[in-house]
């Protein structure tokens, strides 16, 4: 899935309109319809008069996708769960909003709604794979299979009718399904059993985002939902296609208020569509926009944002003050970068990407820069990774490469051990851990699968500059050199690292203090390497490398990672929630796996080992970095699930879950 900036999106809009001849108003009409469908889907999920429904999932397509975080359910359900293997009992819901699960709904259950990376199956009468992605799913008899799913192998059950969620609509579908030869159904995506209990306020801005909201209001009216327009500016100031939408809404008699002129109490409604600011916004919301955003957040009502939450920087994920805190963001056409980086990702709630007639095939790399959400499809199709990690039947340990790890000191021996063990679990055939001599008695036997290469340390249990010769010698027979976990700093470390940088004929992975050494060196003057370098900084290390503050790094992670990787011709892994991988050729990948439980000492050392282990097996730098980050996050999710409470997750658990 592509990730675009506001400017790239505008260019795709322009090309669709000018080169394909699709009228702008048709795109807006589709946008409005998509937003209305997601409002209906949200109303179904929460029931009449429900409160806020905030979750955080991406899904691509269907109006019923992504029930993440809805919590609670019938017998044997796993709603809102993640990383679990579950099965719903009779009448249960299996796997709603789940991720990385194997789940199956029992009789009458729903299997795999909004799930990702799942194998799921709905039982009799269940729904399989609604809004899911990367799934293999199947609905049972009378089930709904694969609505809005992408990249799925899914099959609906007998009599299924592509409808989901709403019980009344499902009942209608069943009735029709049983009448052979004559099947009629209404517009199910805009059908809501309790529509008359809903009243939505549509906050309308001056630009095309406001136009989307106006179109949505008409479609909501069609679904029987009362929609009241709230203009942030005098309606007369709207222009172009947004003005067309304004006039259509007025002709239909939709009630309209103007902020600051008419009385408004958002608490009187059951939900809010935020169509104030989209990709055309510049800077922090001003005047009436800011006041409406603050009032919407205060109201406690569910908010569905059109395209992006108003107040969000669509490119960076930075949030202005104020910024809408949405339950659902209906992202139009292509996923905006700002929706996948924090704090924007949190402000967006659940993100649903809806197609509106702008072909994604138009998105390309004309300017040499592109960004993608890191999914199994991207790993396989764009990066050419065999995600099954198949082993050759005739393979042996020599087939899978040999990692050399330089790290660990007496005070930080665990970091080296974690890295080395993770490299083994990632599938490297052999791993040698080079470490200061004095550590040997303490770590010998801690991982019997490891080979240890003690380096002379003068009895202090720390590294010294003289060890470069020994490391150069050892690296001659190894496939990758990883430096950093538990390394510490020492006299002459800059020259030590320069010698390894210039003298090794294999890929290098640098982490922890190796990055701090690099940050202090002007390494642009070092000899160019023939073999790739992967840097794996956390935001603090990135700040030192880039000479910025940590806050500046976090303010535009994708942009900074791309710029740094291109300038220094390295593969960069900027760690943290939704880790960014940037390649020297101008590609960025934003990870989709991981868990807050991974914020624990040593988790990064494990990642270094995983990436090194993959490099040793012959993956190239981009493949190893991206797949390593993906697997590491997936293992973290699994380990968090297995621990019961994610707070108790420790780095070693991630290794065991690999
Ligand atoms: N065919 C298409 O084009 C399609 C477009 N689509 C939709 O259009 C959206 C982009 O629309 P857009 O470019 O009109 O900009 P948009 O975000 O509505 O706002 C701009 C207006 O807001 C104002 N303003 C700006 N910053 C402000 C601030 N900080 N505080 C206060 N006001 C501020 C500024 O007014 P000004 O200050 O210049 O008078 C300007 O007029 C996109 O996100 C998607 O939803 C889809 O329907 C697909 C088809
Ligand atoms: N909230 C989170 N969500 C997902 N991954 C996380 C989160 N917090 C930390 N991580 C991951 O855990 C690892 C922590 O690495 P790092 O900070 O280098 O730890 P250490 O230096 O202790 O080894 C990184 O891979 C990071 O992406
Ligand atoms: K918006």
Pocket of ligand 1, candidates 208, 285, 312: which has the most ligand atoms within 8 Å of its Cβ, to mutate?
208
Task: Report CA torsion sign: 165, 168, 173, 175.
Answer: positive
Average pLDDT of span 173-182: 59
* 210 confidence band (pLDDT: 50, 70, 90): very high
CA distance 515 to 508: 12
Pocket of ligand 2, candidates 599, 606, 625: which has the most ligand atoms within 8 Å of its Cβ, to mutate?
599
Closest CA to 90 of 75, 71, 73: 75
Q: pLDDT higher for 142 or 440?
A: 440
Q: What is the pLDDT of residues 79-127, one digit of tens each?
A: 333 433 333 333 333 333 334 433 333 333 333 333 343 333 333 333 3
CA distance 157 to 506: 53
Say if residue 211 carries a ligand binding annotation: yes
Task: Report CA torsion sign: 515, 520, 524, 528.
Answer: negative
Share of the chain above pLDDT 70, in %: 79
Say if residue 176 carries a ligand binding annotation: no
CA distance 576 to 542: 11
The domain 374-656 is classified under which CATH number: 3.40.1190.20, 3.40.50.300, 1.10.3720.10, 3.40.109.10?
A: 3.40.1190.20
Residue 294 three-state SS: helix
Say if residue 604 carries a ligand binding annotation: yes
CA distances to 289, 415, 518, 524 from 585, in Å: 40, 31, 21, 18
Looking at the CA of 304, which ligand is closest? 3
Helix pair 24-46, 240-251: axis angle to 10 deg: 60
Looking at the CA of 274, which ligand is closest? 3
Question: Which DSSP letter does residue 61 get?
Answer: S
Q: Tell which atom from ligand 1 comes closest to the C-alpha of 279.
A: 43
Taking CA 624 as the corner, what is the angle to CA 623 and CA 628, rounded to the nearest 5 degrees? 115
- What is the pLDDT, as a whole number, of residue 140? 33
Contacts of 40 (CB under 8 A, 6+ apart): 63, 189, 190, 191, 192, 220, 223, 225
CA distance 309 to 332: 12
Cα dihedral angle (447, 452, 454, 460), rounded to 10 degrees? -10
- What is the pLDDT, as a whole number, of residue 373? 96
Residue with tokens 């890929």: 507
Pocket of ligand 1, candidates 18, 24, 33, 205: which has the most ligand atoms within 8 Å of its Cβ, to mutate?
205
Residue 292 three-state SS: helix
Res. 151: pLDDT tops 50: no
Average pLDDT, the chain: 84
Res. 76: pLDDT tops 90: no
Contact indicator for 54, 180 with CB cutoff of 8 Å:
no
Contact indicator for 83, 99 with CB cutoff of 8 Å:
yes
- What is the pLDDT, as a whole number, of residue 472? 97
* Segments making up each domain of the chain, as ranges: 2-48+194-364, 374-656
For the purposes of burial, counting CB atoms within 10 Å of the CB of 366, is it exposed (0-12), middle (13-18) or buried (19 or more)?
exposed
Q: What is the DSSP string of 528-552?
A: PPSS-EEE---HHHHHHHHTS-HHH
Say if residue 232 carries a ligand binding annotation: no
Q: What is the pLDDT of residues 546-568, one digit of tens each?
A: 999 999 999 999 999 999 999 99
Structure tokens that stand for 109 in this block:
């259950």
Q: What is the DSSP string of 452-508?
A: EEEE--TTSSS--GGGHHHHHHHHTT-SEEEE-TT----TTHHHHHHHHHHH--S-E
- What is the pLDDT, as a whole number, of residue 365? 63
71-80, long-range: CB < 8 A, 24+ apart: 74/109, 75/106, 76/106, 76/109, 77/109, 78/103, 80/55
Res. 148: pLDDT tops 90: no
Phi first, then psi, for residue 205 (nearest 5°) are: -90, 180
Res. 217: pLDDT tops 80: yes
Q: What is the pLDDT of residues 232-247, one digit of tens each?
A: 999 999 999 999 999 9
Say if residue 605 carries a ligand binding annotation: yes
CA distance 167 to 229: 29
Average pLDDT of span 2-31: 95
Q: Exposure pattern of 606-620 as b/e (b: 16+ CB <10 Å)? A: bbbbbbbbbbbbebb
- What is the pLDDT, as a whole number, of residue 172? 52
Ligand 1 — pocket residues by CB below 6 A? 13, 24, 27-28, 31, 205-210, 212, 277-286, 289, 306-307, 332, 356
Contacts of 388 (CB under 8 A, 6+ apart): none
Say if residue 428 carries a ligand binding annotation: no
List CB-based neighbours of ion ligand 3 within 5 Å.
274, 305-306, 310
- What is the pLDDT, as a whole number, of residue 123? 34
CA 383 to chain centre: 17
The residue length of the chain stands at 658
Closest CA to 276 of 209, 336, 351, 218: 209
Average pLDDT of span 146-157: 34
Res. 57: pLDDT tops 90: no
CB atoms within 10 A of CB 289: 22
The CB-side HSE value for 308 (13 A sphere, CA atoms) comes to 33
Q: How do strand 350-354 and strand 58-60 relate by DSSP bridges? A: parallel
The CB-side HSE value for 462 (13 A sphere, CA atoms) comes to 11
CATH class of residue range 2-48+194-364: alpha beta
Say if residue 550 carries a ligand binding annotation: no
Q: Tell which atom from ligand 2 comes closest to the C-alpha of 541.
A: 18
**Complex-level ipTM:** 0.94
Paired with 230 in beta bridges are 203, 257
Q: Tell which atom from ligand 2 comes closest to the C-alpha of 596.
A: 1
Share of the chain above pLDDT 90, in %: 73
Pocket of ligand 2, candidates 83, 575, 654: which has the most ligand atoms within 8 Å of its Cβ, to mutate?
575
Phi first, then psi, for residue 354 (nearest 5°) are: -115, 135
Structure tokens that stand for 553 in this block:
């790094």
Contact indicator for 13, 30 with CB cutoff of 8 Å:
no
Closest residue by Cα to atom 19, ligand 2, is: 604
CA of 596 to the centre of ligand 2 (A): 8
Closest CA to 403 of 253, 599, 612, 200: 612
CA of 340 to the centre of ligand 1 (A): 21
Q: How do strand 102-104 and strand 85-87 relate by DSSP bridges? A: parallel
Q: How do strand 335-336 and strand 2-4 relate by DSSP bridges? A: parallel
Contact indicator for 423, 406 with CB cutoff of 8 Å:
no
Contact indicator for 27, 13 with CB cutoff of 8 Å:
yes
Say if residue 444 carries a ligand binding annotation: no
Q: What is the pLDDT of residues 410-467, one digit of tens each?
A: 999 999 999 999 999 999 999 999 999 999 999 999 999 999 999 988 888 999 999 9
* 54 confidence band (pLDDT: 50, 70, 90): low
Q: What is the pLDDT of residues 638-651, one digit of tens each?
A: 999 999 888 999 99
- What is the pLDDT, as a whole number, of residue 481? 98
Res. 516: pLDDT tops 70: yes
Residue with tokens 């949190």: 346
CA of 563 to the centre of ligand 1 (A): 28
Q: Exposure pattern of 423-451 as b/e (b: 16+ CB <10 Å)? A: bbbbbbbbbbbbbbbbbeeebeeebeebe
Helix pair 24-46, 6-18: axis angle to 10 deg: 120
CA of 233 to the centre of ligand 1 (A): 13
CA of 278 to the centre of ligand 1 (A): 5
Closest residue by Cα to atom 45, ligand 1, is: 209
How far the first Cα of the chain sits from its last, in Å, is: 25
- What is the pLDDT, as a whole number, of residue 368? 60
Taking CA 109 as the corner, what is the angle to CA 108 and CA 111, rounded to the nearest 5 degrees? 145
Looking at the CA of 407, which ligand is closest? 2
Average pLDDT of span 153-176: 41
CA distance 466 to 369: 42
Average pLDDT of span 132-151: 35
CA of 167 to the centre of ligand 3 (A): 30
């Amino acid at each position: 899935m592509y990730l675009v900036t506001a400017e790239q999106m505008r260019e795709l809009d322009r090309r669709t309109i000018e080169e394909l001849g699709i009228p702008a108003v048709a795109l807006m009409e589709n946008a409005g319809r998509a937003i209305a469908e997601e409002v209906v889907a949200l109303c179904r999920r929460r029931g009449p008069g429900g409160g806020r429904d905030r979750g955080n999932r991406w899904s691509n397509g269907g109006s019923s996708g992504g029930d993440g975080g809805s919590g609670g359910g019938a017998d044997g359900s796993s709603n809102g769960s993640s990383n679990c293997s579950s099965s719903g009992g009779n009448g249960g819901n299996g796997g709603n909003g789940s991720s990385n699960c194997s789940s199956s709904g029992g009789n009458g259950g729903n299997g795999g709604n909004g799930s990702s990376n799942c194998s799921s199956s709905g039982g009799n009468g269940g729904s399989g794979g609604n809004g899911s992605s990367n799934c293999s799913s199947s609905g049972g008899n009378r089930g709904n299979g694969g609505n809005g799913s992408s990249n799925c192998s899914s099959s609906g059950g007998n009599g299924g009718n592509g409808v989901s969620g709403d019980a009344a609509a499902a009942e209608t579908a069943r009735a029709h399904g049983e009448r052979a030869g004559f099947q009629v159904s209404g517009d199910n995506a805009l059908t809501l059993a309790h529509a008359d209990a809903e009243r939505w306020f549509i906050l309308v801005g001056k630009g095309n985002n406001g136009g989307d909201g106006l179109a949505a209001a008409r479609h909501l009216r069609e679904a029987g939902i009362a929609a009241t327009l709230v203009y942030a500016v005098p309606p007369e100031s709207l222009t172009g296609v947004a003005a067309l939408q304004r006039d259509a809404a007025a002709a239909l008699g939709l009630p309209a208020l103007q902020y600051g002129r008419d009385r408004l109490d958002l608490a009187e409604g059951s939900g809010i569509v935020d169509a104030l600011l989209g990709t055309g916004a510049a800077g922090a919301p001003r005047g009436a926009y800011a006041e409406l955003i603050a009032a919407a957040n205060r109201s406690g009502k569910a908010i569905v944002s059109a395209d992006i939450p108003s107040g969000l920087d669509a490119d960076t994920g930075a949030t202005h003050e104020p910024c809408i805190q949405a339950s659902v963001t209906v992202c139009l056409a292509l996923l905006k970068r700002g929706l996948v980086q924090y704090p924007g990702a949190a402000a967006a709630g659940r993100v649903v990407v809806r197609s509106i007639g702008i072909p994604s095939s138009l998105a390309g790399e004309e300017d040499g820069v592109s960004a993608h959400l890191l999914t199994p499809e991207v790993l396989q199709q764009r990066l050419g990774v065999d995600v099954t990690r198949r082993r050759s039947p005739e393979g042996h340990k020599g087939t899978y490469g040999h990692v050399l790890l330089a790290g660990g000191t007496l005070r930080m021996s665990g970091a080296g051990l974690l890295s080395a063990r993770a490299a083994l679990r990632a599938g490297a055939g052999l791993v040698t851990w080079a470490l200061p001599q004095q550590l040997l008695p303490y770590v010998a036997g801690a991982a019997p699968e490891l080979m240890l290469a003690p380096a002379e340390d003068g009895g202090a249990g720390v590294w010294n500059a003289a060890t470069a010769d020994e490391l150069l010698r050892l690296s001659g027979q190894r496939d990758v050199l990883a430096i950093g976990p538990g390394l510490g700093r020492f006299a002459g470390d800059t020259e030590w690292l320069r010698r390894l940088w210039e003298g090794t004929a294999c890929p290098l992975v640098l982490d922890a203090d190796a990055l701090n050494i690099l940050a202090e060196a002007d390494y642009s003057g070092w000899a160019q390497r023939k073999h790739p370098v992967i840097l794996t900084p956390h935001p603090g290390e990135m700040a030192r490398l880039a000479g910025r503050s940590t806050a500046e790094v976090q303010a535009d992670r994708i942009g900074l990672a791309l710029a740094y990787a291109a300038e220094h011709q390295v593969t960069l892994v900027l760690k943290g929630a939704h880790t960014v991988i940037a390649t020297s050729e101008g590609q960025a990948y934003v990870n989709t796996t991981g868990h807050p439980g991974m914020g624990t000492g040593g988790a990064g050392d494990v990642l270094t080992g995983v990436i090194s282990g993959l490099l040793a097996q012959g993956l190239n730098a981009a493949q190893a970095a991206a797949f390593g980050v993906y697997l590491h996050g997936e293992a973290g999710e699994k380990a968090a699930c297995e621990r019961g409470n994610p707070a108790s997750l420790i780095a070693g658990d991630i290794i065991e879950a690999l």
